[in-house]
């Protein structure tokens, strides 16, 4: 079974102990850029490249606990009125350093900006009223692989949600620099999206088994694994399946028909017939794996390169379906394409049982 793109051989590790969080506080670095043409503001924040650790997640099996960054770019409506739902984005497995070194932090301070590869999507979601946070996961990519990396991705995503929750209450390391967001974030109405192995982390975080591990006051209402890497489970009730089974939250798995890295089917198979909320298998025809991220689009991984979509066409699919999905499940605004698709995008929907 294909389990996602890898640019270099890596060893597999696993974490079975409960996850605790550790963070080294540093002064947050932020930059802000309003875009008056679109009505969207863009803000970046970073607490440093060694700001977070997940006990049990190592740089390599038997190695030291890995240092992880707390870095993100935020797209939000330029004018915030009331509390806005939050959409958290997490990229997948790609080189952490532009110099092709698989270490973290990067010795040459040349971190690869995978988290900026969804700026086009963040801008569109923000234009439609969401506060969108795309997080950097380079430190995880430089560490162990396997389920331990999924646990670390989920923990990193939850830590960002915890930071945003505290920010909304006027507390924590982001409160002073991002004070304009205070009282404008609804952390009880969160959507998550993970691309590639980020999809595995997002599903692990939102699964029925791990719902109680979310930060207090945070509620995930919808999940979209985007071309998610598959996991291996030998039978339907294997522990791995339970770790990635979502039955109580709507989710959509979007995987292109020409994806040369993953097939994404295991998540729907794991939940269908058990689901208490709608689940959607979304297949953009002729889409590949990498074009969803603008920083990865130089690598055409398509199974059908002669008939595939252009990067612009593929991102147009993303900015059509993904906002409609989150508007339906976070804002209650039904859109028929979420369950039915449109020409060029097939959707198979499994309605709630019972």
DSSP per position, 293-309: SGGGTTS---SSTTTPP
Q: Which residues pair with 251 in a beta bridge?
A: 223, 279
Residue 261 — pLDDT band, cuts 50, 70, 90? confident
Q: Is the pLDDT of residue 96 over 70?
A: yes
3-state secondary structure of 117: helix
Domain boundaries, the chain: 28-350
The dihedral sign for the CA sequence 14, 19, 23, 28:
positive
Q: How confident is the model at residue 111 (pLDDT cuts 50, 70, 90)?
A: very high
The three-state secondary structure class of 180 is helix
More confident residue, 331 or 35: 331
Q: How many of the other CB atoms lie within 10 Å of CB of 129?
A: 18
Average pLDDT over residues 177-206: 97
pLDDT at 306: 85
**The predicted structure's pLDDT at residue 73:** 98
Architecture of domain 28-350: 3-Layer(aba) Sandwich (3.40)
Determine the average pLDDT of the residues in 234-255: 90
The whole-angstrom distance between residue 80's C-alpha and the CA centroid of its chain comes to 24
Mean pLDDT of 96-106: 96
Residues 235, 298: Cα–Cα separation, whole Å: 37
Which residues neighbour 215 within 8 Å (Cβ) at sequence distance 6 or greater? 158, 161, 162, 165
Mean pLDDT, rounded, of the chain? 89
Please state, in angstroms and rounded to a whole number, the distance separating the CA atoms of residues 264 and 227: 6
**Cα 273 to Cα 33, 122, 231, 250, 282, distances in angstroms:** 46, 33, 20, 14, 18
Q: What is the pLDDT of residue 38?
A: 61
User: What is the predicted pLDDT for the residue at 26?
Assistant: 38
Helix (H, G, I), strand (E, B) or coil at 65: strand
Can you tell me the distance from the alpha carbon of 26 to that of 278, in angstroms, rounded to the nearest whole number?
A: 42
pTM: 0.90
pLDDT at 35 over 70: no
Q: Where are the beta strands (DSSP E) in the chain?
A: 22-23, 29-35, 40-46, 52-53, 71-77, 84-90, 131-135, 185-195, 220-226, 251-254, 279-284, 345-350
User: Which of 32-41, 278-287, 311-320 is predicted least confidently?
Assistant: 32-41
Query: Given this model, what pLDDT does residue 298 score?
Result: 84
Cα(26)–Cα(17) distance, integer angstroms: 28
The predicted model gives 334-338 an average pLDDT of 98
Over residues 38-90, the pLDDT tens digits come to 699 999 999 999 999 999 999 999 999 999 999 999 999 999 999 999 999 99
């Amino acid at each position: 079974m294909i389990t996602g793109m890898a640019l270099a051989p890596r060893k597999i590790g696993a974490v079975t102990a409960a996850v605790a969080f550790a963070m080294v506080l540093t002064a947050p670095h932020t930059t802000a850029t309003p875009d008056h043409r679109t009505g969207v503001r863009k803000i970046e924040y970073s607490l440093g490249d060694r700001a977070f650790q997940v006990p049990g997640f190592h740089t390599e099996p038997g190695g030291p606990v890995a240092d992880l960054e707390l870095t993100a770019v935020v797209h939000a409506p330029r004018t915030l009125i009331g509390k806005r739902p939050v959409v958290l984005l997490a990229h997948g497995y790609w080189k952490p350093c532009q110099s092709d070194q698989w270490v973290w932090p990067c010795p040459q301070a040349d971190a690869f900006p995978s988290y900026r590869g969804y700026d086009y999507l963040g801008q569109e979601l923000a234009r439609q009223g969401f506060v969108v946070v795309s997080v950097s996961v380079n430190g995880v990519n430089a560490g162990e692989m396997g389920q331990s990396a999924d646990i670390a991705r989920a923990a990193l995503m939850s830590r960002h949600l915890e930071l945003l929750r505290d920010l909304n209450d006027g507390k924590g390391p982001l409160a002073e620099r991002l004070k304009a967001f205070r009282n404008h974030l609804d952390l009880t109405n969160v959507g998550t999206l993970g691309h590639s192995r980020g999809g595995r982390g997002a599903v692990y975080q939102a699964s029925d088994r791990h719902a109680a591990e979310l930060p207090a006051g945070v509620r995930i209402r919808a999940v979209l694994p985007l071309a998610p890497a598959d996991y291996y489970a030998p039978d339907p009730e294997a522990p791995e399946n339970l770790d990635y089974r979502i039955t109580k939250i709507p989710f959509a798995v979007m995987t292109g028909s020409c994806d040369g890295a993953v097939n994404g089917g295991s998540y729907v198979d794991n939940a269908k017939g058990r689901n208490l909320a709608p689940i959607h298998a979304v297949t953009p025809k002729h889409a590949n794996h990498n074009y969803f991220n603008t920083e990865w689009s130089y690598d055409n991984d398509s199974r059908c390169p002669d008939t595939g979509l252009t990067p612009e066409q593929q991102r147009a699919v993303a900015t059509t379906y993904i906002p409609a999905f989150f508007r339906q499940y976070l804002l209650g605004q039904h859109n028929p394409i979420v369950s039915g698709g449109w020409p060029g995008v097939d959707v198979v929907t499994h309605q709630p049982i019972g």
